[in-house]
Amino acid sequence: MRQLRHRRLTAVVALATLLVTAAPPTAASAGAGAGAKPERAGFHRVGYFTQWGIYGRAFPVKKLDTSGAASRLTHVNYAFGNVSEDGRCYVDGGPGEGDAWADYQRPVPAEESVDGIADAPGQALNGNFGQLAKLKAKHPELKVLISLGGWSWSTYFSNAARTDASRKAFVASCIDIYLKGNLPGSPGAAAGVFDGVDLDWEWPNWEGEPGNVIRPEDRENFTKLLAEFRRQLDGYGRTTRKHHPLTAFLPANPATMDAGYEGRKIFKYLDFATVQGYDFHGGWDAVTNQQSALRVPRGAPDNPDFSAEVAIDGWIARGAPRNKLVLGIPYYGRGWTGVSGGGNGLFQPATGPAPATFEAGYEDYKQLKTLAGKGYTVHRDLRSGHAWLFDGTTFWTYDDPAVVLQKTLYIRQAGLAGAMMWSLDGDDDNATLTKTIGLGLTTW
């Protein structure tokens, strides 16, 4: 049995390697792929597009089309929408609290535009929102959701969810801005860009970013907030004659699950939920480790420990239906430097997070893929489903196509609803990871 399992996993690596070594598409073939019939049936394939990715990462919405990623996705979650102290959705916050320029004001030049046509300065809808509208026109089955909160903007979720009145007002404000498209000074300008709402409250009744408002009643109020979103989205849907999806991002930590969520109750209102499948370990730890392993590796120094399987099993044990769970997959790695102890670098002492492009200890897949063979050796634990790079001093744990494909097989075998990716701007220009997920979750 062990030899059979090893042969199957070796086949996974071989198949994923074919994706990596295949010739990149030409401009003509990329365009044809983008316009081809999308692979929509069956599993959800949910990718987060970051508001700020257009800057340092030079990742405009157009890249979702030209890379072929858009035709492999079912949902794009736009990260993020903010929540005000008085519990409202808003888009015109000051520095650090919003970026209206990126969202809907920036005139996108022709070379960055999905349809090749430049935005006119001052027109009703520019920026990322305008480009998402163009992307949907080319891919009409693609759903776009506004993701509210995130790590930095979950500060006042508790205020918004606290009372019946606050929940009603909060939900109404979100639908007004994002689904009805009533942007400041431009009523209806963004109508039709967003199809639904993703709640990324990190976390109800549990510590997230320092300064977040936390209350014990958050646990029950989160369920009530979902109920109010479902009620108002359905009401709005009766006017649009459409179903407007409601999803949520859920934690991997079992203690956080218990503190902030009423188990099976929340799934009554959700179309599906994405489950954190990463950040299990990172440069904040004193020793190197995995950040996104499918299963807890043998010899792991922490007991109990985190893994994708632990997270999924935790939600199922708390009443979550398998067919509403979507596993999160990272398009980045976590790294350490000053690693001592020898060997392959795993579970060894380190001096701190590794130097990186934007944030110490955090690097995009498209950068990490270039390290293999340049002083770094790729190591794999096929049983546990994780990979890492090590050069004798610096260690990076990450998901490459082989690991991603192995996770799609797990998704299928476990009867889950699909895969989520954080975040699309971490992939390479050929959308290698997204195409791997598309391959692994294709319904034959």
- Domain contains 10: no
For the stretch 205-244, pLDDT in tens is: 999 999 999 999 999 999 999 999 999 999 999 999 999 9
User: CB neighbours (10 Å) of residue 245?
Assistant: 18
Place of tokens 């071989």: 14
Rounded to whole angstroms, the Cα distance separating 431 from 71 reads: 11
Sort strands 395-398 and 386-390 into parallel, antiparallel or unpaired: antiparallel
Question: pTM of this prediction?
Answer: 0.92
Q: How many domains does the chain have?
A: 1
Average pLDDT, the chain: 92
Rounded to whole angstroms, the Cα distance separating 297 from 277 reads: 15
Rounded to whole angstroms, the Cα distance separating 61 from 317 reads: 38
Give the total residue count for the chain: 444
Residue 93's pLDDT is 84
Helix (H) or strand (E) holding 31: helix 27-35
Share of the chain above pLDDT 90, in %: 88
- Band (pLDDT 50/70/90 cuts) for residue 15 is low
Rounded to whole angstroms, the Cα distance separating 8 from 290 reads: 22
Q: For 314-410, where are the E strands, in sequence order? A: 325-330, 332-337, 352-353, 362-364, 377-381, 386-390, 395-398
- Domain contains 366: no
- Domain contains 2: no
- Domain contains 26: no
Q: Which of 97, 111, 141, 202 is catalytic?
A: 202
pLDDT at 266 over 80: yes
* Domain membership of residue 137 as a residue range: 43-331+400-440
Report DSSP state, residue 267.
Answer: G
Q: Across-strand partners of 50?
A: 79
- Domain contains 280: yes
- Band (pLDDT 50/70/90 cuts) for residue 23 is very low
pLDDT at 37 over 80: no
For residue 222, count CB atoms less than 10 angstroms from its CB and return exposed for 0-12, middle for 13-18, buried for 19 or more. Answer: buried
The average pLDDT across 280-309 equals 98
CA nearest to 272, candidates 38, 43, 4 = 43
pLDDT at 22 over 80: no
202 is catalytic: yes
- Band (pLDDT 50/70/90 cuts) for residue 28 is very low
- Band (pLDDT 50/70/90 cuts) for residue 443 is confident
Rounded to whole angstroms, the Cα distance separating 42 from 416 reads: 11
Distances (CA, A) of 60 to 68, 135, 143, 150, 251: 14, 11, 18, 20, 28
pLDDT at 70 over 80: yes
Residue 444's pLDDT is 61
- Domain contains 350: no
> In CATH, what number is assigned to the domain containing residue 162?
3.20.20.80
The amino acid at 304 = P
Residue 20's pLDDT is 39
> Which phi-psi region, left, alpha or beta, contains residue 393 (left: φ > 0; alpha: ψ -120 to 50)?
alpha
- Domain contains 186: yes
Residue 247's pLDDT is 99
| Contact in structure between 149 and 274 (CB atoms under 8 Å) | no
Rounded to whole angstroms, the Cα distance separating 46 from 64 reads: 13
For the stretch 133-153, pLDDT in tens is: 999 999 999 999 999 999 999
pLDDT at 30 over 80: no
pLDDT at 33 over 50: no
For the stretch 151-171, pLDDT in tens is: 999 999 999 999 999 999 999
* Helix 401-414 × helix 432-440 angle, to 10°: 30
The average pLDDT across 335-355 equals 98
Those residues whose C-beta lies under 8 Å from the C-beta of residue 391, and which sit 6 or more positions away, are 371, 375, 376, 377
For the stretch 76-105, pLDDT in tens is: 999 999 999 999 999 988 889 999 999 999
* Helix 308-317 × helix 401-414 angle, to 10°: 20
- Band (pLDDT 50/70/90 cuts) for residue 29 is very low
- Domain contains 385: no
- Band (pLDDT 50/70/90 cuts) for residue 332 is very high
Sort strands 196-200 and 143-149 into parallel, antiparallel or unpaired: parallel
Q: State yes or no: cis peptide before 152, omega within 30 of 0.
A: no
Q: For 244-322, where are the E strands, in sequence order? A: 246-250, 272-275
Place of tokens 């010899």: 299
Rounded to whole angstroms, the Cα distance separating 184 from 125 reads: 11
Residue 5's pLDDT is 44
The average pLDDT across 28-38 equals 33
Those residues whose C-beta lies under 8 Å from the C-beta of residue 334, and which sit 6 or more positions away, are 279, 281, 282, 283, 291, 361, 362, 396, 397, 398
Residue 25's pLDDT is 34
Q: Where are the alpha helices (DSSP H) in 122-217?
A: 127-138, 157-161, 164-174
pLDDT at 386 over 90: yes
The amino acid at 101 = W
